[in-house]
Structure 1
Amino acid sequence: MTQARDGHDAFAATRRTVEAVWRIESAKVIAHAARVVRDVGVAEEIAQDAFVAALERWPTSGIPENPGAWLMTAAKHRALDRLRRAASHARAHEAMGSDLEALEAHFAPDFVEALDAAREDEIGDDLLRLMFVACHPVLPKEGRVALTLRLLGGLTTAEIARAFLVPEATVAQRIVRAKRTLAAAKVPFEVPRLSGLEPRLDSVFEVICLIFNEGYTATAGKDWTRPALCEEALRLGRMLARLVPAQGEAHGLAALMELQASRLPARVDRAGRAVLLADQDRSRWDALLIRRGLAALARGAGCAGAPGPYALQAALAACHARAPSAAATDWARIVAIYDALLKLDASPVVRLNRAVAVGMAQGPQAALDLVDALCEESVLRHYPWLPATRGDLLEKLGRYAEARAQFERAAALTQNARDREVLLARAQACAPRA
């Protein structure tokens, strides 16, 4: 009985180790296998086969000194086996035979030893290729997000479904459709040429930012934030900044997420209720993330070219991070940064955010004039933060009945329970004064 329990405990411990290694190493293994087989769907299967092999062997053989290299080697052998089987069914295709010979020559017996030194750049290239494939514009946003979290984040389908509050079957379908679309479109496993790099980078930035934003302010559900999603987006952003160090916007995006994430501990109270920026205890902001964010912002400023939208948004976040209190915030500087951002992105949401800054710098009436001009924007018709902003400004102007109506309208529009609590509380606070 004791031996059986010990064996079960050992297997459970090994499984936990394998799962932890999967989260850390899976992107590298999948990316490397994809370079060999040129199909991300097949590459993921190969990587999973390697992890199953680890689950079978490590409980008896012990966890290897370098688990990542062990898995990479196992995946490499499985990838070559796939090509051998394909070649045996299509001997007439001499090119495939030549490819196989070249691959076998490339993957010499000393593969594991070479991996940790000479091949690090190659692994980085593989990860970058995988990121560009997973975030390819041929896929819809939902497919890009799901596939990126699956392949590069190492999340299970169930974890992605829980993070976005959708059925697991929906996420599974998105991933399957994304893989089929990539295969049907014959998307090459490569980093785009220089002429096509910027638009493809924009897609990668967008996906990572979408993941982070959903974690930072959840669009639906009972929780106001989902820190696990923020962590995944941060990990992807840091990886991207290392892979394309000359791209200022990569550092800008990383800086933006580091600085925003620094506030997460103060954004909810002990009961999980939302705490707005002006009311947050800034001593609870993560000082390490702030330092990392400011350093990333400086690295981006050192790159060629003018600051892009992510770098400018990071500069906005830096203004808050540097201010010892809400009252000490340099709102005039924030308005100036928004003016620069508007030249790159004049979307209604950016204009609304600028209006908030104007209200802090010049007074609520100046901001209300700007916000009222946005009420006809169709994009903002169902956006809860338009009436919420109007309610805040009207309350500051003493127009409490109007403010209450705006807060109630905002509460009706939001799908997040914590947001609704805050908005209804503000509406209720206006009632006696109205």
Structure 2
Amino acid sequence: MTRPTFLELQPDWYELADGERCWLDVSERSVQLAGIDADADADEGSGLLKVEVHAPPSSHFELELSTGAPPPASSSQTPHFVEIVRRERDWIEVHAHVGEQSARRTVRTVFQAPAAAVAVAGRRQLLAVDVSRDERVVAVGGADGHCAIFDALARTEAFNLPGHFSDVTSVRFFPSSKVLLSASLDFTLRIWNVEDGLCAAVLKGHRGGVEDTAILGRGRNDVIAKWGNDAQSAVHCLSVLDDASKALGKAGDEPPAAHSQEAETEGKVLFAGLENGETLGVDIRMRQLTASVRGTAPILSCAATSTSGAPLLFTGSEDGILATWDLRHTSTPLQLQTRSGAPIHSIALSSETGDAPSAAASVWTAHGDGVCCHWSGAATDALVSTELSGPQFDPVRGLAIAPRTGRVFTVGRDGLLRDYNPHLLT
């Protein structure tokens, strides 16, 4: 079996001049399902997926940053051959020809430099980011209660949003782009007016810190946040699948009576990634569990979509494994991928409507080793086709995709808000 091949380029390559040298690693890494570890979660009766990760030693190269340069020498015995095919102002395309001459294959990766990097609030750690649907503003949340709104075009702070007194773990714009929801480990959520930066409401009642939020429909009456049952496994992430009844092909039972304040819940399933490695799907209107999948480690990120023709769920775990699930057949994952053992802190799906090449439900992941990846063929034979450069191995905590232009915004431990205009391979 051919193992997936990954390229890793020196993070600050874009600060070097033509002719200077930087390092490039070529590695092969695959993950195979080996069964279920029945002892991993015996108290709750549901085990983790047991997997085997195969990762031979990587090949290290010293690469001259110019097209047409002579082939670099490798520091190890390897049949690989690497070359820079094209270099532009803010991106570089690298090819690795992998394997023996008789069975050689080419792996292509674009490394993208940020268009801008903005220092936020004294460079304190940032944990969350979102971009409004109209792409006018970007929100960030971070350590010590920091929350702010930035002008997406000018890349300047528009409003500081004081009020939270502990880490802000989630920021979400309502579809109108005029309202922002923030959540914090201080047990509260706040609703902000984007036009003037004022707090319109504070939502209380949680018995623990809120780690993620999800907004239903237009957000008129229903806001879903981490549920606070202290007896259950901690919830790390949330995602909503719209039109789930149609996508999953299930005939619905008679729903219970709707709450007087309930709106836009019909056909929506809320997915929650848990500390125990499970991801649960709850039909919000029916108020019942409709799906449960087992991961390989605590689930830190998840995203659901049905835009590719099949209802898919992507989960990112603490051990760096990206799992793809067909929600019509959840006994085993459709695919398991891993580029490193670093945790996957965030998963973002590009909009199915938009002008950018990334608009076809592309999958982006943010990792604990400072890497952000764009996965091509995430539901079939996934490979990393674009990688965002910048962080010097600092974890990337948050990732957001502009729905029309495909701009990518990231935040992480180094306190920088980065803005990318990714060049995607076709």
Shared topology, TM-score over 0.5? no
Is the strand fraction higher in 1 or 2? 2
TM-score by length of 2: 0.23
Larger Rg: 1
TM-score by length of 1: 0.22
Q: Which structure ranks higher in relative contact order (CA pairs < 8 Å, sequence separation ≥ 6)? A: 2
Is the helix fraction higher in 1 or 2? 1
